[in-house]
Every structure is written in C-alpha cells, then in structure tokens.
Amino acid sequence: MTKSDLDFFLNQNVQIELSNFVLSLLCAAILSFVVHLFYIKFSSTLSNRMEFSKNFVVLGVATCIVIMIVKSSLALSLGLVGALSIVRFRAAIKEPEELVYLFLIIAIGLGCGANQLIITVVGILFALLTIIIYSLYLKKFTINSQEIVNMGIVIDSNISDSEVDSLIEDLKKMSLDLKFISMSRTIENTSINIDLKPKDFKELTKITGKIKEQYPKSK
C-alpha cells in the first residue's frame, strides 16, 4: 500500500446529507421510545423500570450519531476504538433482561447510523413481536402455576402407612391433580406436604373439612 492510498483511507471525508442524518435520528428516537414503552409494559424485572429505561432514547440517538460520524472516516473509526478502550461504562445491570433491552437500543443506533432503516425497523418490530408472544406464554404459564396450592397437613398422632395412603387417595378424588412432596413422622405427630390442584377453589373448604372430619386435632 502506497502513501497516497494510506492518506486516502485516513483522510477520506464522506459528506453526510442533512436530510438522511435527520431521518436516521428520528427513526432511532422513535424506535428507542417504542422499546422504552415495551420495557415498561412487558419487563418482568424487579427494579425501577422507568428509572432504568428513561435514557433509552438518548442512548439510541447517541449511538446513531456516533456511527454516522465514524462510518465516513477510517481515522475516526480507529479513534473510536481507542476512546472506548479508555472509557469504561459501569452500568448497574442487575438482571439479564436489562442487558437484552440495552442491546436492542444499541442495535437501533447501529442500524439507523448505518442508514439501514428498513432492515432496522423490520428487525426491531420482529423482536418486539417476539417479546409480546413470549410474555403471553409466560403469563399463561404463571396463571396455571398459581392454580396449584401447596398444603401442609399436621396431624397430632403417629398415623399408620395405610391411613396416610387412605388420606392421599381421598384428597386425589377431590382434586384435579395431586403431587406428594414429603412426609415426616415422630412419636407425637405426622406432617404431610403435598401440592394439589383443586377443581375449584371452593373445594379447598371441602378438602380441609374432610381432613378435620377424619382427624379433629389436625392443622
């Protein structure tokens, strides 16, 4: 590579049209704001969602500006690599989900800064659609899990194995599903731990009544 070739790569200066620059900034800001709204609505993180996502738009726009500037100059690109090796970003990322949304914002800035607006819009919309579908799936799974009740039964006597089996069988008849978790017995009492899915939550009263009927001193 000759000196003239090296000077061309290091000193090249591609002019950026103002209209394209403004359009890319608007696209980055709008997409970042949409991701901000999705994060507040669909995120399952326990931290303050509004506090964490309030800078999404600024981060997306800043990334877009940086990419649009450095893409026109090899020298600026090399300078950016050197600058990033000095500056360390120590964001308080508590959960992986927060990092995923940050990557989405950075992807918006990179795509809009590279002037790949259509690809960026389609990609981000697909990612947001995936978030909606996955959130609905998790919500359905959570509701189904909440229908399962953990029941601890303490009987003030050391009952026999046959009595335990009989009690479990009676409870199975009064519930849609039952899973035996654990049991411990001492001279004074018997403790049984089960997970059951009642046919109706009103059935819980009948179940506890059935246990009290057989073992009046039970808890």
pLDDT value, residue 135: 81
Digit-coded pLDDT (tens) for 74-103: 555 555 655 455 445 555 556 778 888 888
On the 0-12 / 13-18 / 19+ scale of CB atoms within 10 A, 1 is exposed
Query: Could you tell me which residues are beta bridge partners of residue 195?
Result: 150, 179
Digit-coded pLDDT (tens) for 20-62: 888 999 999 999 999 999 988 888 776 677 878 888 999 899 8
pLDDT value, residue 91: 54
The pTM (predicted TM-score) of the whole model is 0.56
pLDDT value, residue 5: 53
Mean residue pLDDT of the chain comes to 76
pLDDT, average across residues 205-211: 75
Digit-coded pLDDT (tens) for 115-132: 889 999 999 999 999 988
Neighbours of 34 (CB within 10 A): 16
For 119, residues 6+ apart whose C-beta sits below 8 A from its C-beta are 111
Six-digit token pair at 192? 């049984």
Q: CA–CA separation, 207 vs 162, rounded Å?
A: 19
pLDDT value, residue 140: 66
Does residue 4 carry a pLDDT above 60?
Answer: no
pLDDT value, residue 78: 55
pLDDT value, residue 168: 77
